[in-house]
Amino acid sequence: MLTANLKPTSQSPLYILGAGAIGSLWGAYGYQAGADIRLILRNQQTVNDYQQHGGIHLISAHQTLVSPVPADYPQSISTPIQNLLITTKAPQTMDALSAIKPHIAEQAVFLLLQNGLGIADQIRQEFPSVTVLQGSTTEGCYRQSGFEFVHAGHGHTFIGATGGSGIRDFNALDQLAASLSFPPLNVNISNDIDAVLWRKLAVNCAINPLTVIHHCRNGELLHKPKALAQMRQIVDEILAVSVALNRTHWLTNLHEYVENVAKTTADNRSSMLQDIEAGRETEIDAITGYLCQLAEQHNINVPLNQEILAEIKRLSREAKH
């Protein structure tokens, strides 16, 4: 069960697994707010590089915030991990958790704040005594270089207990949300986080891979006739899967919603496009791949999503060579 006292204390710091854009955003603002926060980096060399750099450099509103958040690597962790914010990319999550498994407390609380779905179920199987919560954020942050990040736009962050978590202690959830609301970040509780996550998956399926295929920013998709037609077909296929799962009530006006997200994030370069350009692994398996898995289980045809899944994997292989 969810513990009553989730607020990080000297006995129970908040560990952050994944020092990319979102993990560093929470780490930097948490450090500035005086919270006991610790980053978990890949290895000792990464920690050395991080310390030489002086910590996280976060550019926001034309000023640079320097936050030397304490950092560990798996072998140097000395305090049991009770509260863990997981912001790794989906495909790296299980390996990253495996590396710190000896340090995870029996009744730990994990909060997943990442793109894609399906990872929470894997974590619950591997760590049955852990409470797994999920969240979604529209905070805009990107890596400029190394440990330098830009907080490009304020958004909304919701966390909650998914249907599979069995959590009903909403006071503890409120406490957790409050303990993660480091100004200017504001974390709220959603009583229906499954719906929030499903809508986010739909948006990610309809926008992120198309920005890779058409090599463009989000908003440019709306001005390319082929891309716009593809976006609409992807949405139609998502709606077909949603009917089979009885989730259509979560996706009211999905066509307009997706196009509006592309418009309001017009200048964004999706994380998937940045991953391909940098030769990194993408999250396509936890986004389009997850949708295709569900479609197959329910005998729903999603030809364009299948085609896009294969194309992104091909481009990802090419980018690595």
Q: What share of the chain in percent tops pLDDT 70?
A: 94
| Catalytic residue positions, numbered | 200
| Unique residue bearing structure tokens 């948006």 | 203
Q: What share of the chain in percent tops pLDDT 90?
A: 74
- For residue 84, the cross-strand partners are 15, 110
CATH number at residue 291: 1.10.1040.10
Number of other CB atoms surrounding residue 86 within 10 Å: 26
pLDDT beyond 50 at 5: no
Predicted confidence band at 235 (pLDDT cuts at 50, 70, 90)?
very high
Which of these three, 162, 191, 220, is where a domain ends?
191
pLDDT beyond 60 at 10: no
Which of these three, 191, 209, 243, is where a domain ends?
191
pLDDT beyond 90 at 62: no
Which of these three, 157, 191, 225, is where a domain ends?
191
Same-domain check for residues 283 and 176: no
Q: In this structure, what token pair is assigned to residue 311?
A: 């194309």
Number of other CB atoms surrounding residue 59 within 10 Å: 15
Confidence (pLDDT) at 173: 85
Same-domain check for residues 179 and 35: yes
Same-domain check for residues 314 and 176: no
Same-domain check for residues 295 and 178: no
Same-domain check for residues 209 and 283: yes
Residue 45 lies in a domain: yes
Task: Name which residue leads in pLDDT, 32 or 138.
Answer: 32
Residue 175 lies in a domain: yes
Confidence (pLDDT) at 2: 42
For the ranges 11-20, 62-71, 158-167, the one whose mean pLDDT is highest: 62-71
Confidence (pLDDT) at 3: 43
Chain segment 191-228, per-residue pLDDT in tens: 899 999 999 999 999 999 999 999 999 999 999 999 99
Chain segment 79-97, per-residue pLDDT in tens: 999 999 999 999 899 999 9
pLDDT beyond 70 at 1: no
Same-domain check for residues 175 and 238: no
Same-domain check for residues 165 and 305: no
Section 162-166 average pLDDT: 61
Give how many domains the chain has, as a whole number. Answer: 2
Confidence (pLDDT) at 170: 65
Mean pLDDT (the chain, rounded): 91
Same-domain check for residues 154 and 22: yes
Task: Give all strands of the β-sheet with 148-153 in edge-to-edge order.
Answer: 63-67, 56-60, 148-153, 140-145
CATH number at residue 23: 3.40.50.720
Domain interval for residue 140 = 14-191
Section 272-276 average pLDDT: 91
| pTM for this model (two decimals) | 0.89
* CA 36 – CA 7 distance, rounded (Å): 10
Same-domain check for residues 164 and 97: yes
Residue 8 lies in a domain: no
Residue 241 lies in a domain: yes
pLDDT beyond 50 at 59: yes
HEC per residue, 33-84 = CCCCEEEECCCHHHHHHHHHHCCEEEEECCEEEEECCCEECHHHCCCCEEEE
Residue 135 lies in a domain: yes
8 Å CB contact between 14 and 85: yes
